[in-house]
Structure 1
Amino acid sequence: MRDPYDILGVARSADPAEIKRAYRRLAKKLHPDANKDDPKAQDRFAELNSAHEILSDPDKRGKFDRGEIDAEGKPKGFEGFPGGGFGRGGFQRGPGGGETIFESFSYGPEGARRSGHGPHDAGGFDDVLSDILGGLGGGRGRARGRAETPRGNDIDITVPVPLETVVEGGPVKVRLPNGRVVEVKIPARVAEGHRMRMKGQGEPSAFGGTPGDAYLVVAYAPHRVFRIEGTDLRADVALPLAQAVLGGKLRVPTLGGEVELSVPAWTDSGRTFRLRGKGLPKAEGGEGDLLATVRIALPEERDAELEALMRKHAGA
C-alpha cells in the first residue's frame, strides 16, 4: 500500500483539519457509486479509507511517523519463521549443543522486545506464539496458548446523502469494503459528519479474529439547485421583469417545498434575501438559512408591448 500522506495528497505537517478536508474531497471523487464503470474504484476507495484511518488517529499517525507500523497499520519487525527458527534469533544452542532457549519477540510502547526462555521456564511454541499475538492485540492471552486474537481495523465510509434526505430522513445505499451493497436508514435532521456504526462490517482480521466495525460518515451530496455554505444554502431565483419593477410575491424553492417571498418594487437583479431556518440542520440544534439571490428574467416569448415601452423609455 502507498504512503497514506501520498494517498490523501497532504504534507507530513498537515493538521487534522487539512487531513479531514482532503479525505472528504477525495471520498466524493473516488466513491464507487460515482465510478460505477471503473473496476478499480473499490480498491482505490478502500485504500483511501485505510490511509484516512491511520492519519486521522493521533496514536496510529504517531506510530506510522516513527516507523512502528506500516502503511496498512501493521506492526513492523515481525519476520515470521525464517530458517526453521523463530524471529531473528531462532533457536540458540546451549553448552551441549542442544536447542535449549526460545527467543521470542513481543511489541509494546517501546517497540520490539526480545525475551528468552531457558530449559526450566520454556513454555513451548504455544507460549511464544501467545507472546506475539498478545503483543499485537494489545496484551497477552489469559491462558497459556490462548492469546486474544486481534480484531480487524475499524474504517470510516463517507456516504454522500441527498439534501432532502438530510432533512426528512430516509434510506441510502452504501457499498461496503467487501463489495456488498446495503440499504441504511438515515435519521431526519442529521448534520454533516454524523457517524453511524455498523458492527462487524469493517476490515477483516489478519489473524482470523473478528472483523472491525464500519462507521458511516454523513456527507452532503451536491444539489442541482442549492449551493452549500456550511449549514446555509444559496440559490438563484428567476425574478420576472414586471415583479422587479412593481413588486409582488415570488415562489422560492426550499428543501421542504416552495415558499412565498415578498419582493419590494424596484428590486435590482442580484439582490439577496435571507430566509431564516430554511437551510441545513446544525449539529448543536436549529437550522441554517437559505440565501435567495434574485436574477431578473425576461419573458420566454418576445413581447411587442414591452419592446415598445422600452423604446419609449430609452428615447425619453
Structure 2
Amino acid sequence: MSQDPYELLGLKRNATQREIQSAFRQAAKKLHPDLNPGDKKAEAKFKEISAAYELLSDEEKRGRFDRGEIDMTGAEQAPRNFYREYASASRPGDAYHNGAGFADFGDGDDIFASFFSRRSGGRRSQQYRAPGNDRHFSMEIDFLDAVNGTKTQLTLPQGSTLDVQIPPGTRDGQTLRLRGLGEPGIGGGPAGDALIDIVVRPHPIYTREGNDIRLDVPITIREAVLGGTVRVPTPSGPVNLKLPPNSNSGKVFRLTGRGVRERGGQAGDVYVTVKIVLPDAPDEALTAFAESWVAGMGQNPRRNMEG
C-alpha cells in the first residue's frame, strides 16, 4: 500500500474537500469489486483508496497526517466488508444489486451517499452532496418539425413519457438539454439533466444547408419558354415564384427569408432549382414542332463540354 493518501487519489496536498470527494468517487466507480469480480488487484486498490478517503475526509486526522503526527497505517481504515454488504444484499428492489450479480452504478449511487455520510471517529462526517447523473436518450423527428419547431413526447424505457420542446432550427445530431430531468441528486444535490440526441429524418423534396433550404421544382416547356407564375412549397408555406421567359433547367431562384429561422436569429433562404419536364405521353404537336424547328437544329448546348 502506498503510504501517501494524496498519491493514491491523484491529488495535490492543497486539495479541497470537494476535490477529495470527486477523486474518490471516480476511482471507486472503476475499482469497485462488484464491477471487477475475481480481480484481486482491483479489490486491494479499492481498499487503499477507501482508506485514503477515510483519512483525508476527516479534517482532524488529515491535519495530523500533514503534520507528520500519524501515518497511513494509523489512519482509520474503510470497513473491509463495506462493498460486500451491498454485493450480497438479497432484498427485493435493492438499488445496488442486480440479477447479474454486479453493481449498477447508474441506479446505485446511494452507495456513495452512504459512504460519505457514515459516522467517523465518534462524530459525523460532512454529508456528501452531489448532482445526479445525466440521462441520455435519442429521438427521431420529422424534417419540418426540426425546422419549424414542435412539442412532442419521448417514451422512456420504463414506459413513462417525457415532454420535449423542439426549438425552431433544430439540427440533425444536435443534443437538447432538459435541465433537472435526469437522475435525482445525492445528499440533497440537484438532479441531473436529460440529454436528447436528435436524429432528423430526410425529407422527400427539401435538403438543408446550414439555415438555407434547397429543392428542385419541375416546370413545363411552356412555362420555361413563356415564363409565368409557379406555386413553390417552402417549410413555412407555399409562395408564388415568377419565372421569366426562357428559364432553362438548372436555373436557381432565391426566396429570401423563407428558410430556417433559429430562435432569436435571422432566417435563411430557400433556393429553387427549376427542372424542365416533358409530358408523360408523347405529344404529336410537340414532336412536329421539334422536327420543323430550324433554329433548334443548330443549337449545341454541350459545346462547353467538348475537348
The bucket for the TM-score relative to the shorter chain is 0.5 to 0.7
Q: Provide closer, same or farther for how the CA distance between residues 210 and 286 of structure 1 changes in structure 2, counting only shifts above 3 A.
A: closer
Residue 78 (str. 1) matches residue 32 (str. 2) = yes
Q: Distance in 2 between matches of 1:252 and 1:246?
A: 18
Q: Provide closer, same or farther for how the CA distance between residues 205 and 76 of structure 1 changes in structure 2, counting only shifts above 3 A.
A: farther
Give the deviation of 1:279 after TM superposition: 1.1
| RMSD between aligned residues | 4.8
Q: Which has the larger radius of gyration?
A: 2
Q: Is the 8 A contact 2:227 2:243 kept in 1?
A: yes
Which residue number corresponds to residue 51 of structure 2?
A: 104
Q: How does 1:164-313 map to 2 (within 5 A)?
A: 164-178=144-158, 180-187=160-167, 189-192=168-171, 193=174, 195-197=176-178, 199-202=180-183, 212-282=192-262, 285-313=265-293
Q: Distance in 1 between matches of 2:210 and 2:178?
A: 24
SS of equivalent residue, structure 1 residue 261 = strand
Q: Provide closer, same or farther for how the CA distance between residues 169 and 141 of structure 1 changes in structure 2, counting only shifts above 3 A.
A: same
Over residues 202-252 of structure 1, what are the superposed CA-to-partner deviations in whole Å (9 max), with x where a residue is unaligned? 5x8999x99742123555432111011111111010011101011111111
SS of equivalent residue, structure 1 residue 242 = helix
Consecutive aligned runs of 4 or more in structure 1 exceeding 6 Å deviation: 133-137, 204-207
Q: Provide closer, same or farther for how the CA distance between residues 78 and 149 of structure 1 changes in structure 2, counting only shifts above 3 A.
A: farther
Q: Distance in 1 between matches of 2:201 and 2:45?
A: 55
In structure 2, give the amino acid aligned to 1:79.
P
User: Which has the larger displacement, 254-263 or 178-187?
Assistant: 178-187
Which residue number corresponds to residue 153 of structure 1?
A: 133
Q: Distance in 2 between matches of 1:89 and 1:301?
A: 80
Structure 2, unaligned runs of 5 or more: 1-24, 57-64, 66-70, 84-108, 298-307
Q: Is the 8 A contact 2:135 2:194 kept in 1?
A: yes
Give the deviation of 1:184 after TM superposition: 2.7
Q: Is the 8 A contact 1:239 1:295 kept in 2?
A: yes
Normalized against structure 1, the TM-score is what? 0.53
Which residue number corresponds to residue 93 of structure 2?
A: none
Q: Provide closer, same or farther for how the CA distance between residues 103 and 284 of structure 1 changes in structure 2, counting only shifts above 3 A.
A: closer
Q: Distance in 2 between matches of 1:173 and 1:252?
A: 32
In structure 2, give the amino acid aligned to 1:157.
F
